[in-house]
Amino acid sequence: MAPESSTGKPKNKFSSILGRLRPGLCRSSQTPGRSTAPTPSKPSTAQQATQQHGGDPVKTAWKATEVALRVLEKSADAFPPLKAAAGVLVACLDLAKNVTGNQEEYIKLAEELAQIARALKPYASQLAEEGTGGSIALILKSIDEELVKIKKQQERSKGKKIVEAADDKGDILMRYRKIDSLFRRLLSDVTLRTHVEIGKLREATDATLLRTLSPVDDARYNSAYSTAIKRRGCTSSTREQILDDLRTWAKDPIGSRVFWMNGMAGTGKTTILYSFCEWLEENDRMAGNFFCSRTSTACRDLNNIVRSIAYQLAHYSPAFRSQLCKILEEKQNPHTLNVGEQFKWVVAVPLENSKDAIPDGAVIVIDALDECDNVSATALLLKVLMSYAPRLPIKFLVASRPEPVILKNMQTPNFAPSILRLHDIEQSLVEADIKLYLQEALSTVSPAPTSDVIDQLTRRSGKLFIYAATVARYINPEDEEVNAETRLYAILGISTSSAKLKYQELDELYMHILFSAFATTRLEEEELKIRSLVLRSVICAIEPMTTCTMSTILGVRQGDVSSALSRLRSVIHVQEGPSGLVSVLHASFPDFLFNKARSREFYCNIVEHNIKLAHSCFDVMCKELHFNMCNLESSYDFDEDVPDLKQRIKAGISAALLYACKYWSTHLVHCDLTSSIHYRLVEFLKFRLLFWMEVLNLTKSISIGSKLLSGAITWFIQQAPDHTFKETEKELYDADLFVKAFFLGECKKSTPHIYISALPFCYKSNSVYQNYWSNTHGLIVVNGTSLKQQHNRPVGAWTSSSVSRVVFSPDGSTFASGTRRGDLYIRDVQSGEIVFSPLVKHGKAILSVVFSPDNCKIAAGSENGNIWIWDMQTANLIAGPLNMEGGKCVSSLAFSWDSRKLASYAYPTVLVWDSSSGKVLSGPFIIKDTGHINYPSSLAFTPDDSNILLVSNIGVVHILDAHSGSNLAEPFETNIEGRAEAEYLWSSAISPDGTLVAVSYHGKKTIYIWDIHARTMIHGPFAGHSNVLLVLSFSPDGKKLIWASTDRIIRVWDIEAGSVVAGPFAGHTSHIPSLALSSDGTKIISGSYDGSVRIWNVSASNNSNIALPFQCYPDQVAWSPDGTKIASGQSGAEDGKYVVAVWSAQNGEAAIEPIYYSSSIESIAFSPDSSRISAVTLSKDVVSWDSMTGEIVGEPFRQLSSSVDSIAYSPDGSIIATAFLFKKIVTIWDCSRGKMIGKPLDHNDMRVRSVAFTPDGNKLVSGVEDGSLYVWNVHTGQTVLGPIVGHTRPVSSVACSPEKPRFVSGSEDGTLSVWSLTNGEMTAGPFDARFGYVQSVIYSRDGSKIIAGYLNGGICILDAETCNILTSFLTSGSSVSCMAVSPDDSYFVSGSTTGQSLRLWQLDILSSSESVRNAPTIWMPEDDIQVIPITSNMAKYHDDGWVALGNIHIFWTPLEFCDDLCHPYNPITIGRHGTTRIDYSSSKLFIGRRWSKCWIYGRQDSISEWESRQSDAWRCR
State the pLDDT at residue 31: 34
More confident residue, 797 or 1192: 1192
Q: What is the DSSP letter of 346?
A: I
Say whether pLDDT at 230 is over 80: no
State the pLDDT at residue 298: 85
Say whether pLDDT at 475 is over 90: no
Mean of pLDDT over the chain: 79
User: Which pLDDT band, with edges at 50, 70 and 90, does 46 fall under?
Assistant: very low
Say whether pLDDT at 880 is over 90: no
The residues with which 816 forms a beta bridge, in sequence order, are 807, 826
pLDDT tens readout for residues 335-379: 778 888 889 889 999 999 988 888 888 999 999 898 887 777 888
User: Which pLDDT band, with edges at 50, 70 and 90, does 628 fall under?
Assistant: very high
Reported residue count of the chain is: 1517
Choice among 192-196, 766-770, 1050-1054, 1463-1467 with the minimum mean pLDDT? 192-196
State the pLDDT at residue 111: 66
Asked whether 1128 and 1409 are in contact (CB, 8 A), the reply is no
3-state secondary structure of 107: helix
State the pLDDT at residue 115: 65
Average pLDDT over residues 88-95: 63
More confident residue, 1517 or 1274: 1274
State the pLDDT at residue 276: 94
More confident residue, 107 or 223: 223
pLDDT tens readout for residues 1138-1153: 788 899 999 888 888 8
pLDDT tens readout for residues 265-299: 667 788 899 999 999 999 889 999 999 987 788 88
Say whether pLDDT at 827 is over 90: no
pLDDT tens readout for residues 418-450: 777 765 665 556 677 778 778 888 888 878 888
Asked whether 457 and 438 are in contact (CB, 8 A), the reply is yes
Please give the order of strands across the beta sheet that includes 1235-1242: 1204-1209, 1215-1220, 1225-1230, 1235-1242
Work out the angle between the directed axes of helices 705-719 and 655-668 (0-180°, nearest 10): 40
State the pLDDT at residue 425: 63
More confident residue, 1329 or 1241: 1241
State the pLDDT at residue 1296: 95
Say whether pLDDT at 264 is over 70: no
User: Which pLDDT band, with edges at 50, 70 and 90, does 158 fall under?
Assistant: low
Phi, psi of 1307 (to 5 degrees): -130, 160
Average pLDDT over residues 649-665: 94
Say whether pLDDT at 404 is over 90: no
Say whether pLDDT at 405 is over 60: yes
Average pLDDT over residues 241-270: 84
- pTM here is 0.69
State the pLDDT at residue 832: 75
pLDDT tens readout for residues 1368-1417: 888 766 788 889 999 999 999 998 877 778 899 999 998 887 888 788 78
User: Which pLDDT band, with edges at 50, 70 and 90, does 689 fall under?
Assistant: very high
Average pLDDT over residues 952-966: 84
User: Which pLDDT band, with edges at 50, 70 and 90, does 1291 fall under?
Assistant: very high
Say whether pLDDT at 602 is over 50: yes
pLDDT tens readout for residues 1343-1374: 999 999 998 888 999 998 888 888 888 876 67
Q: Where are the alpha helices (DSSP H) in 745-791?
A: 753, 767-772
3-state secondary structure of 353: helix
User: Which pLDDT band, with edges at 50, 70 and 90, does 696 fall under?
Assistant: very high
Say whether pLDDT at 390 is over 60: yes
CA dist 1452 and 1443 (Å) reads: 6
State the pLDDT at residue 1428: 45
Query: Which of 373, 400, 715, 694 is closest to 542 using CA atoms?
Result: 373
User: Which pLDDT band, with edges at 50, 70 and 90, does 1493 fall under?
Assistant: very high
* Greatest mean pLDDT among 295-299, 308-312, 1506-1510: 308-312
pLDDT tens readout for residues 131-142: 555 666 666 677
**Rg of the chain in Å (alpha carbons):** 41
CA dist 1379 and 1250 (Å) reads: 13
Say whether pLDDT at 1500 is over 70: no
User: Which pLDDT band, with edges at 50, 70 and 90, does 413 fall under?
Assistant: low
| The pairing of beta strand 418-421 with beta strand 258-262 | parallel
Tell me how crowded residue 49 is: count the other CB atoms within 10 A of its CB.
23
Return the exposure string of 280-305: e unless at least 16 CB atoms fall within 10 Å of the residue's CB, then b.
beebbbbbbbbbbbbbbbbbbbbbbb
Say whether pLDDT at 1210 is over 50: yes
State the pLDDT at residue 49: 42
* Greatest mean pLDDT among 24-33, 531-540, 1103-1112: 531-540
Asked whether 791 and 1049 are in contact (CB, 8 A), the reply is no
Q: Please return the burial class of 1030, using the count of CB atoms within 10 Å of its CB with bins 0-12, 13-18 and 19+.
A: buried
% the chain with pLDDT above 70: 76
Choice among 185-194, 283-292, 424-433, 798-807 with the minimum mean pLDDT? 185-194
User: Which pLDDT band, with edges at 50, 70 and 90, does 55 fall under?
Assistant: low
Asked whether 561 and 550 are in contact (CB, 8 A), the reply is yes
More confident residue, 737 or 86: 737
Asked whether 1079 and 781 are in contact (CB, 8 A), the reply is no
Say whether pLDDT at 1313 is over 50: yes
More confident residue, 780 or 1021: 780
